[in-house]
Amino acid sequence: MNAHRIRFCACFCVLVSAVGLAAGTGLATEPPQVLQPNGSAYSEGEVAILSEAIGILRVTLAAPTYASQKTFGLSGWGKWTSAEFAAYTAGILAGDGYLTHVVSAGDWPDGVHTWILVGLSVGERTAWVPVEASPEMGTKQTVLGRLPEDVGPDGVLWFPSAYVQFTDVAPTRENRPPIAKITTQKTDVSTTDYTTLTATGSYDPDGTIILYVWDFGDGEPPEAVGSKYAKHRFAENGTYLVTLTVVDQQGGTGTATIEIKAAHGCGCG
């Protein structure tokens, strides 16, 4: 599992005030202001720090493991609005220690559109960077999000004006984290057989679990599924710590672990 995911907080709390909303690291005292990431808004040293921080944020947003796999649409079963995508991605980013604001504006193709402002430290002040969590209309969220950005003829990065101005802070509520539980018929298994693990017993006290992420502890990439069931074959002898992370609709997470012992020719069946 990616190292930055281990830093997930036990819950994602969103606090609302008359001036704004901040997720993960506390309540903001002023609404954020998005400045173009260039030498006109920041010093040369700040631009260098910001460029590096944006690069790290891009990597986090591009990781597919924690993408919701929900479809962006105006209505219908299984479809999410931009506000839902923003709340989800903001929760994941808050778990990584980012300061986030969820903001919105009208006059978009989907009506009132919602996106995220992520705070990046550039020394003595915070730079606010827009993040678009919603995929293209009618498609699934296969990564956490993207930075809406363009590069001018001079090679300088800038943010489209639609993401710089906003009219409101999206309303949300405090989120209680989901509870993860792992069950299996046996913990001593054969290297020649597939082992079935289930997340039966996992639940979200105030919402819905939308993603089950299995890290089998054997070097294989984590497996993210929308189902409570997973099958895996442990190809080598050894003892493996399997970790299940459950994710709810606001990006809150809960984890559980179980130890599996695998052996060749084990009469475990």
What is 188-263's CATH number, 2.60.40.10, 3.30.10.20, 3.40.50.10490, 3.30.2350.10? Answer: 2.60.40.10
Q: How many CA atoms lie within 13 A of 122 on its CB side?
A: 23
Please, where in the chain does CATH 2.60.40.10 lie?
Answer: 188-263
| 212 against 2, higher pLDDT | 212
Please, what is the average pLDDT of the chain? 85
Return the minimum-mean-pLDDT range out of 27-36, 68-77, 207-216. 27-36
| Rounded Cα–Cα distance for residues 169 and 16 (Å) | 9
Q: Are 254 and 223 in contact (CB under 8 A)?
A: no
Confidence (pLDDT) at 21: 36
Q: Give the gyration radius of the chain's Cα atoms.
A: 21
In this predicted structure, the answer to whether residue 14 has a pLDDT above a threshold of 50 is no
> What pLDDT, on the 0 to 100 scale, is given for residue 31?
73
pLDDT digits (tens, 9 = 90+) for 147-202: 998 877 777 789 999 999 998 876 556 889 999 999 998 899 999 999 999 999 99
Backbone φ and ψ for 84, nearest 5 degrees, come out as -70, -40
Cα of 219 vs its chain's centroid, Å: 22
Q: Binning pLDDT at 50, 70 and 90, where does residue 93 land? A: very high
The pLDDT value recorded for residue 13 is 35
Structure tokens at 41: 């808004």
Whole-model pTM? 0.83
Tell me what pLDDT residue 55 has.
95
pLDDT of residue 172: 59
Write out the H or E segment, with its range, that includes residue 52: helix 44-62
- Tokens 């209505």 correspond to 75
Using CA atoms in the order 12, 67, 227, 213, what is the torsion angle rounded to 10 degrees?
Answer: -70
Identify whether the C-beta of residue 68 lies closer than 8 Å to the C-beta of residue 78: no
| DSSP code of residue 93 | H
pLDDT (0 to 100) of residue 170: 67
Q: What angle do CA 28, 253, 205 make, to 5 degrees?
A: 95
Q: Map residue 94 onto helix, strand or coil.
A: helix
